Each structure stands twice: as C-alpha cells, then as structure tokens.
Structure 1
C-alpha cells in the first residue's frame, strides 16, 4: 500500500489571531500570506467583511514554502488546559550540555522580548537533552529543543 504525503497546516484557537500570528511570524521567520486577489492589503479585505467577522482569522507561512502554514482562528472561549499538540522549535539540534543550554536560553530571551513567557526548563536526564518550555502571547505551550 502506498501512502501519499499530504500538505497540512497547524491551526490555533485564540482570542486575537493577528497578535498571535505576528508572534509566530517573528518566532519562526515566517511571513503573512498575500491578501486575496483583488485586495491591496489584508486591511482592505477585512474592511469588506461583516463587523463580527473582522479580525477573526490570520495566518503565517514559511517564505520558502517548506514548513507548514499556521492558521489562527478566533474562538469565544479562553485557553483553560494544557495543549494536546504543541510546536517544537529546533534551536539546539546537535548541541549538548552547556552549549545546548546557551542556545535555548538565547532563543528564549529573544522570544520573551516578543511577548513569550518562559514556563520551565526540562534538564537533560541521560536519555533526552535539555528542553525549554515556553508559552506564546496567549499561553499556548511550545518547546525550544
């Protein structure tokens, strides 16, 4: 049996899609997609929507077309429990010990300046290398590993 590789996007439920997508664009080096045909900007597109739909969605994408698209949709309820799915940002690949910790801490500091929150450091345990658990601007967990 042959399996076909499928394109996919990762969808986040959130309160402020534009704010969350701006954070992830900066965190990952992603960009906002182009506005729909016939619109000069996303603001122009949004202006044509009913008031209740304005600001209800945003997205960001890998400018090289390699990584998955991230989609952010407004939902009425806030985040109340731990994510069941999260992103791992690979900043320490191939590094161990102090060099890995330094890479994690440097990226963690950069992301905190963008509005992320440091949650906890999971130290190396002999099986897994160190990992820094963070939260984005709306409290969604992600890892720097």
Structure 2
C-alpha cells in the first residue's frame, strides 16, 4: 500500500513562495476545508489570530493528479544547498531537437525570473557546451532546475 504524501517547503513568507510556485507549476491555492468558502472564514472560525494567517500555505494541482505542496513559515533562513529540489521538465526530453529544448528551457526560465526567480547556473550536457538545464532559485533561495 502506498502512503499519501506532500512536499513541504520551509520559508519566511509562505504566501509569497506559494504564489511563485503556482506560477512555476500551474498549480492553484488549495481549497479551504469542506464547509468553508474561504481560508479567511475558516481561520476566523478557528480563532487563528490574523498575524498568524501567513504561517502556512498550500497549493494543489488543479487536475487533482499531482501531489500538493505546503509552505511552512520558519524563523531561520536557508543556509546550505538543498539536498532535495524540483526539476521542471519543460524541454520534452533528449529525443527533441536541441534548439527546441533550449528554447523551452529559456522561455520557462524567463517567465520564472519575472515571477521572482534567479538563474544561478547554466548546466551543459557532459563534455559539451550544449545546454542541458538551468539551475535557479525561487524568491527565497530554494533551488530548482528547469530541464
């Protein structure tokens, strides 16, 4: 039997980072619990102080297929390279013509830079100058790649 799971990203501003990842993945803000029209209504009903409303966020695949992602407010900044990261697979694989792969990678990266990402490094294929993928960081410095 499999276990249901999500990924949680620690961050200083869950709403900001959640919005970025909605853009990056085509996800949407997760629905509030059943019986509630908005998160604000639910948080108010649960007596959560307004200054704690951005302590967490969650986004979901609008098609309900892929795992949801949670964002948790933590006090400490990121200090080292992530050991786990997401690869946004936009190029179509190595069977695609290289010029199309590179166009797709660069177009996606440009959109994400506009949304707050930073490109750290262009990673070539082994023993060549041909682009394999781009290594980026989200608005709070969490690593991911556009492949």
TM-score with structure 2 setting the length: 0.87
Map Cα deviations across residues 50-92 of structure 1 (whole Å, 9 max, x no partner).
3553210100011111111100000010111111100001001
Per the alignment, in what secondary structure is the counterpart of residue 23 of structure 1? helix
Query: How much does 1:103 deviate?
Result: 1.1
Aligned partner of 1:32 in structure 2 is 29
Structure 2 segments unaligned to the other structure (5+ residues): none
RMSD: 2.0
Query: How much does 1:101 deviate?
Result: 1.4
Per the alignment, in what secondary structure is the counterpart of residue 78 of structure 1? coil
CA distance in 2, matches of 1:120, 1:111: 15
Query: How much does 1:96 deviate?
Result: 4.5
CA distance in 1, matches of 2:109, 2:79: 23
Per the alignment, in what secondary structure is the counterpart of residue 99 of structure 1? helix
Query: How much does 1:46 deviate?
Result: 3.3
Aligned partner of 1:17 in structure 2 is 14
Query: How much does 1:126 deviate?
Result: 5.6
Pairing 1:114–2:115 present: yes
Map Cα deviations across residues 81-140 of structure 1 (whole Å, 9 max, x no partner).
111100001001223522211111010001111111111110111699701111111110
Match runs of 1:54-133 below 5 Å: 54-94=53-93, 95-125=96-126, 130-133=132-135
Question: Structure 2 vs 1, CA of residues 37 and 65 (structure 1 numbering), >3 Å: closer, same or farther?
Answer: closer
Pairs aligned (count): 142
Aligned with 2:140 (options 121, 138, 141): 138
